[in-house]
A and B are shown apart, each in its own frame.
Chain A
Amino acid sequence: MIKITDLEKYYATEEVRTIALNKLSFQVQKGEFVAVMGPSGCGKSTLLNILGLLDDPDGGSFIFNGIEVAGFNERKRADLRKHNIGFVFQSFNLIDELTVFENVELPLIYTGVKPAERKARVDEVLEKMQIMHRRKHFPQQLSGGQQQRVAVARAVVNNPKLILADEPTGNLDSSNGNEVMDLLTELNEAGTTIIMVTHSEHDAKYSHRIIRMLDGQKVTENVLTEYKSNTLEV
């Protein structure tokens, strides 16, 4: 599903040019659950942004679902993104002014789903995340665990092929954290590909494979569970 080859990304300030990704290459198969680990500043978040089509690489190749997307313009990336990718953030990134229901509904609005269907799908996913009773509440009225569940609900409401999670349990206590990890595992078992950036060895154990990074490069890769995709496409 994802194949990156010699991926490069720089950040330049007036004086210094920092290399964030240094000829990074790896593949992720459809249905796989991959954890990316490494110390702060190793390029994890940059990688996630590129994988999430929020940012453009400076060099190398990025094949998503069989299409070369490196060099796509903003508009094409946005289009691809909204139909295929869901995001879960450490800081939830819910919109404070909108209710739980409205937050989850947002991606459906932007992909042009009709109101009646939107309601059905939002209700369904809220039910699944067990926060139906909180649907009229605002994010700040919820606990961290509940907020992250809303964020996950928002990430999956569009049935994306890929979920990118950036330290999804970073702001949660352990029991809430485990709940979220269970949720992600369930989604993965239902067929969604997941790439998760994390500092937590505990969380990483939920994945099939851990990619460890340092200074923009892949250092090791250890396979926890041999994952066989039922298709061989990349």
Chain B
Amino acid sequence: MNNVQYISERLWAGNLGNAFVVLSFVGALLSFFAYYLSSKNNSFIKLARIAFNIHGFAVIGIIGTMFWMLLNHYFEYQYVYQHSNTSMDMKYILSCFWEGQEGSFLLWTFWNIVLGVILKRQLKTGEWEIPVMTVFALVQVFLASMLLGVYLFDYKIGSNPFLLLRDHVDFSNLPFLQKAGMVPAKLDGKGLNPLLMNYWMTIHPPTLFLGFASTLVPFAFAIGALWNKKHTEWQKIALPWTYFCILILGIGILMGGAWAYEALSFGGFWAWDPVENSSLVPWLVIVAAGHTMIINKNKGGSLFTTHFLAIGSFLLVLYSTFLTRSGVLGNASVHAFTDLGMTGQLVLYVLTFIFITVMLLINDKLFRVSYIMASLLILFFGLLYGYKRALLMIWLGSSGMITFIAYYKYFPKEKDEEELYSREFWMFLGSLVFLLSGLIITYFTSIPVINKLFGTQFAPPKVATYNNWMMPFAILIMLLIGAAQFLKYKKTEPKKFFKRISYSFILSLLFGLACSIPLYFLTKSENKSVDTWDLVGYSALLVTGLFAVFANLDYFLMILKGKISKSGAAIAHIGFAMVLIGALISTSKKVTLAKNMVDKKLAALGKDFDDRESILLTQGDTLQMGPYLVSYRGKKREGINIYYTVDYYKLDKNKKPEFDFTLVPLIQNNPRMGQSSAEPDTKHFLDRDVYTHITAADMNMDTITKKKNAFGEAKNYVGHVGDTIFSSNALIIIDSLRSNLTKTQYEKNDSVLEVTAVLRCVNTQAQSFMAYPKFIIKKNVVIPEEDVVDELGIKLVFWKINPDDGTIEITMSEKLSNNKDFIVMKAFVFPYINVLWLGCLIMAFGTGIAVIERIRKFKVQS
């Protein structure tokens, strides 16, 4: 951008990286066209495969170059400068790599390549290689273009990770770039966001992105099937892949929850944050797809639904990329990525894949051509004349309608009615419940997008809104998970079925009510905002959740005879039910330990204002907090973190405090966030977690050491006899005033007036100390005589009498050492949260077994 010469820039790295970027894009493009052409002429297939491998090689080249630059601190490059520095721990180098958007796109691309190469090999010479890999290559074209960073007319395409610092808009004004001869040796980067220096952050993103990447497999098959017009065969091959996706994406999401619980001060593991939602929804939809695929495999049918769900899951991944990367969420999310100016590009990608899907759904040639023409017309009109929002809505609406028409006109449908007492009917229903809940979450999350489209001003919904809406779905799904296991495909004898599930149901009803009645109805809930309907909902979810656990346990032990390899589904369902039960109990029975006294005036404002949750702890003082006595011991600084040590005591049998444990929550003065963030500390017990985080504290470390014996600023108080002055450590009561003269004596005489204020100072241990400051007038001159209470470190000066209203004025100053350090913190108990984590492990284990079993079965079949 400027012509200044720079020495010792290692330009070769950027050139090499850019060569790889271009190669990766060209390779993907070539592979796409060659695969597409080989559907007509088989001789292109070799070229297509080679081009895909070249693309893969180039992406690995990009990643390798970036790691080389990060490891060797090439700070003349923007990405290295912005995401790493020399002082950071090199074990976080992986986090540096995917902290930025370019890096995370690369991670996604990388996993797509890994999956693509495996799939290419698996499908080689079969009829599915060409359609599936064409879709794969097209997705790679889009992802590779995200790194190009070139301008096409006025549109910027992609964001290049090999940009030099001096060429980057945000950094080119840095002072050391303004003169020639930059010396990179002296340069240090901005470093990694300290929030990401957490072990979860080294494993959560790659797992999540592998999950995102693997939604591409069922998508590619479904699109390929629409293209090939072979709607059933692909499901056999895609089934193990789909369950792999369910497993990995599920683990990735739960890891995110674990990270939030451990490192963020959400006060929980799930906050319905847009970023969390946008990874949850594709999972819900792919789970639904996995189930309709099983229906299709065992009984046939559900073809349209399976295609719809498999395609929908990937489109939702793209949509969530758009949501979190385009900056559209703005105020709605704490951790959405910043806008890199790729909004238009991301929208275009989402729309392109919707377009391809709808186009392939249309079987009629004339219809299809007119759809293509109309879409292109709308696109050009929008680009040339504006009205983008209206056109977008017209296009989306008509595409939706065409999908509906295509379903009726072209899709093979079941002739006979489903049996009511059949597994497929209820499993299908379960899939619909998942889809519907996913759509509702998407709708809530998309409110900022709706505002953009319609110019409305709706605020994003609160956590409670999500919880309330999801509750009935959770109850329904638990019932279905429990009952459907005992239904056979096609037809089941109702009597036998009801008899079988009645055991589990009665057991869960007894057990569930025995737990939930004392939990929810007899003990008064501390949270007043809970109404009876919520309590009924909680109890219903507890009962149905237990039913899902018991029924699947019964199925696993009695029908499958405990044979692990066949029981993936039963085990995974037990795990899922446990996750929901754990989430329910730990959230609904979350106890606030640190509770302030309720201000009646504020309580009158309504339930929203009645949840005082913070408590003030002064250094050295011990306070009662729930069953604990807590004491704030002090703080220490380590790097950018300030640790606050809080000791917890329990009363032993003789009611004497006994040390229990120490928690050290911290405040991080995070230079990257522009504001400091609090990181909680949690004590884990088998049946509960005690969770503490700081909401307000003095981060200044100097206050402790300053002149301790000096007095601070004096404060003036106006009052009558009987009034009270508050110091930081005592109450000062104006007991009485004594005068050496009566009023008349003073007025007659010209002698000295001496008024003594009798002040009683009561400290927190109820000890009294007397103070006698004097107000003296000698020949109309006021000479006050101060008094100091050494025990309390308080100086009192009585300096004015207002004869009009009889008030007196006293100033009080305290020794600096009186202002003890304090923290304001919140503390919660999460009961039985380990049920949730155990449920996660069981669910992952069960799904893992299902994946292995599906692969084994598939191999036996073919």
Q: Do these two chains really belong together in a complex?
A: no
Chain B residues at the A interface, C-beta cutoff of 8 Å:
none
